[in-house]
Structure 1
Amino acid sequence: MSHKNIYYSDKYYDDKFEYRHVVLPKEIAKLVPKTHLMSETEWRGIGVQQSQGWVHYMIHEPEPHILLFRRPLQDSSAPTQAEQIKNDM
C-alpha cells in the first residue's frame, strides 16, 4: 500500500483543540469504513502516520476520503493568532 500519496494538512487550532485533516488517495479511501469513526488502530492500519493523541472525530459525508482529526490542546501549545500568521508566511 502506497503511503506517499497521503496528504497531511497543517495544524489549525481553536480554544480547546488542535486539528488537522488527512487526504487519502482513492485506493486507500476505499478502505475507510462508512459506518463509524476509525480507532487509532484502524487509521494506522490503512497507512495514516501521525503522532499519538489524534482522534478521528468527524465524517464529512461529501468527502469521505478526507479524514478529520483533532486532539486536546496541552497547556498553551496553540500558537497565538499572530504566531500562526507569522508561521504561515
Structure 2
Amino acid sequence: MGSYSRHVMLPKEIAKLVPKNHLMSESEWRSIGVQQSQGWKHYMVHEPEPHILLFRRELNQSNEKQRQQMIL
C-alpha cells in the first residue's frame, strides 16, 4: 500500500522551535501550530531548509475513496 506526502513550510521564527535531535510526535508539531488532520507522521526535515517539515500518511481504503470522490 502507498502513502501520501505533504511538505509544511514554517515561518522561520517558528522553525526555531523544531527539535534538532528527533522527529516530532503529533503532539509536538501541533504545539508549534501545525494544523492538519490526524494520522500524519513527521518523517523528515529538509536539511537545506530546516523550516520545511515532511509528513506522510499511509494510504488506506477509506482515504483512497475520499481521494477518488474529490477527483470526481
Q: CA deviation at 1:57?
A: 0.6
* Aligned residue in 2 for 1:56: 42
Task: Look up the SS of the partner of 1:77 in the other structure.
Answer: helix
**Structure with the higher fraction of residues in helix conformation:** 2
**1:9-48 equivalence runs, <5 A:** 16-48=2-34
The residue type equivalent to 1:35 in the other structure is: N
* TM-score where L is the length of structure 2: 0.83
| Contiguous gaps of at least 5 residues in structure 2 | none
Task: Look up the SS of the partner of 2:28 in the other structure.
Answer: helix
Instruction: Quote the Cα distance in structure 2 between the aligned partners of 1:16 and 1:39.
Output: 21
* TM-score where L is the length of structure 1: 0.68
CA-atom RMSD, angstroms? Answer: 1.8
1:77 correspondence with 2:72: no
Equivalent residues, number: 67
Which residue, out of 51, 57, 60, partners 1:65? 51
